[in-house]
Amino acid sequence: MRKALLTVMALLLVSTMLFAGGDKEAASSASASSGAKTEIYFLNFKPEVADVYTNVVKPAFEAENPEYTLKVETAASNQYASTLRAEMAKAAPPVIFQVNGPVGIVDNVNDVAELKNTDFYKLLGDKSMALSVGNTEVAAIPYAVEGYGIIYNQDIMDRYFKLADPVVKSMDEVKSFDTLKKLVEDMTKKKNALGIQGVFASTSFAPGNDWRWQTHLFNMPLYAEMIQDDPNANPILTATTAATEFDFDFAPQYKQIFDLYLNNSTTEKGMLGSKSVDDSMAEFALGQAAMVQNGNWGASQILGLQGNKVAPEDIKFLPLYVGLAGEENQGLDVGTENYLVINKNASEAAQKGADVFLTWLFSSPTGKQIVNNDLGFITPFNSFSADEMPSDPLAAEVVRWMNMDGITSVPWTFAGIPSEEWKNAFGAELLKYINGTSSWDDVVSVAQTEWAKEAQIAGRK
């Protein structure tokens, strides 16, 4: 009796699987027969705009290009690498996918198509931004430029400037680490009068939430050292990607801003190991903190938070002043980790379709409007004029800083860090430093030795 029951259940299970599969098959073959459309499969990296792709981009593109169907899948946050590897092994792999830079693209060296003759590549303004790998001259093209620095709340700053004896009278005076430090420490003294819990939002160190420190803030000493070692390197990222050694010459500068964050925070040190980036952004959005280090992608986290107390016009950017020479002329950290690649193992027609789609998205009037208003990307393409820019306040701030007279943006060099392993090791050591179980010298030596080791594993010579 029991055996019979089990057999029936097993059969049912198998048949549902069969029918579920059959259903899909029927659907796709039906659409294929009605005009032989080519499917373009795009594996999207950015979960925050996943809905825009499926609800806005897909219908608009298919309406204007009836010979194609667009399929957009989005990997869950932090799961892109594993999702991509699984998808690439399938019979119908993604046609367009993303890599995070010169280190990431090595994993896909066998999959990259040559983009030199595509229309999409012709749109790229600064051709040196494209990546090459192996024998492929143009393997990956950046599509969104991002900037980060210290985000501050103008409203809280104005309240501070109205208190008795402010150390500076406006944010325009803050042009160096020393001024920033004086300002921040004075604000901490007056935090009750300002109604804030701390000047800086939590230095988040929950698992997977330390990238603002081990990658973004770290860009400052990394860039400074790379440019010191090779002042003529252009682009500096190429030099960083080849670096076999890292001395951490600017560790004191890193330490002083890191300590400033820690000592003037909303949160005591022992609790930082459980704080996430979301927590930090929420503290800023709720007016509990006056400043938070993050990039323009954080705008939606501030303005979208329920109970948000910060007005869009009060959200401003300050460059990361860490105490480097000549920092009064330094701008935000501007660069990209978003590169698109076309899969050379996809069918000829699908590869052509990928070029058509990307060119459409970044140069047709409909596409550009979606990019500006819905996707919110600051693009590196010459098809966008100076006044065609995304509308969110932080993106506007990035553009303002990029175009300021006499100000030079700091390029993203962290994409040249040899491996994720290096970032994890450095981040872990920073957390130990916060918890008092490691000294600062340990942090410096981990950064140096791990770099040498990981560079060797990555095959740098």
Q: How far is the CB of 60 from other proteins (least distance, A)?
A: 33
Q: Which letter does DSSP use for residue 285 in this model?
A: H
One of 16, 29, 77, 110 touching other proteins (CB under 8 A): 110
Q: How far apart are CA 198 and CA 246, in angstroms?
A: 34
Residue of 103, 183, 318, 356 that binds other proteins (CB under 8 A): 103
In the complex, minimum distance from the CB of residue 102 to other proteins, in angstroms, rounded to a whole number: 11
Is residue 432 involved in binding other proteins (CB under 8 A)? yes
Token pair for 244: 């076999």
82 is a site residue for other proteins (CB under 8 A): yes
Question: Using an 8 Å Cβ cutoff, are 67 and 38 in contact?
Answer: yes
Task: State which residue, 47 or 273, has the beta carbon closest to other proteins.
Answer: 273
Q: Report the alpha-carbon distance of residue 430 to residue 440 in Å, rounded.
A: 8
Stretch that binds other proteins, among 147-155, 251-259, 371-379, 449-457 (CB under 8 A): 449-457
Q: Which of 15, 40, 13 is nearest to 358 (CA)?
A: 40
Give the amino acid at 27.
A
| CB closer to other proteins out of 34 and 135 | 135
Which of 152/205 has CB closer to other proteins?
205
Asked if 454 interacts with other proteins (CB under 8 A), we say yes
Tokens 């000592």 — which residue? 263
Structure-block tokens of residue 192 = 């009750």
Question: Restricting to residues 244-273, which ones interact with other proteins according to CB under 8 A?
Answer: 268, 270-271, 273
Among 263, 424, 445, 448, binds other proteins (CB under 8 A): 424
Token code pair at residue 237:
């990222």
CB of 446 to other proteins, least distance (A): 9
**Buried b vs exposed e over 236-250: b needs ≥16 C-beta within 10 Å?**
bbbbbbebeebebeb
Q: CA 297, CA 119: separation in Å to the nearest integer? A: 28
Q: What is the DSSP letter of 124?
A: B
Query: 4, 36, 63, 89: which one contacts other proteins (CB under 8 A)?
Result: 89
Position 208 contacts other proteins (CB under 8 A): yes
Distance of closest approach, residue 204 Cβ to other proteins, in angstroms: 12
Q: Does 88 bind other proteins (CB under 8 A)?
A: yes
Is 59 a binding residue for other proteins by CB under 8 A? The answer is no
Number of residues that bind other proteins (CB under 8 A): 36
**Hey, which residues does 151 pair with through a beta bridge?**
292, 317
Using DSSP's 3-state secondary structure scheme, residue 193 falls into: helix
Residue 293: name the closest of 197, 188, 216, 385 by CA: 216
Cα 454 off chain centre by: 22
Q: Can you give 58-121 as a three-state secondary structure string?
A: HHHHHHHCCCEEEEEEECCCCCHHHHHHHHHCCCCCCCEEEECCCCHHHHHCCCECCCCCCHHH
Query: Which residue type occupies 2?
Result: R
Q: Binding of other proteins at residue 207 (CB under 8 A)? A: yes
Query: Is residue 299 a contact point for other proteins (CB under 8 A)?
Result: no
Q: Which is nearer to other proteins, 174 or 425 (CB)?
A: 425
Half-sphere exposure of 229 (CA within 13 A, CB side): 20
Residue 244 beta carbon to other proteins: minimum distance, rounded to whole angstroms:
15
**Per-residue binder mask for other proteins (CB under 8 A), 403-422, x = binder:** ----------------xxx-
Smaller CB distance to other proteins: residue 365 or 436? 436
Q: Is residue 458 part of the contact set for other proteins (CB under 8 A)?
A: yes
CA dist., res. 388 & res. 445, Å (int): 46
Percent of the chain that is helix, strand, coil (3-state, to 5): 50, 15, 30
Among 62, 107, 337, 374, binds other proteins (CB under 8 A): 107
Give the interface with other proteins as residue ranges (CB under 8 A).
81-82, 85, 88-89, 103, 106-110, 205-208, 268, 270-271, 273-274, 419-421, 424-425, 428-429, 431-432, 435, 437, 453-454, 457-459
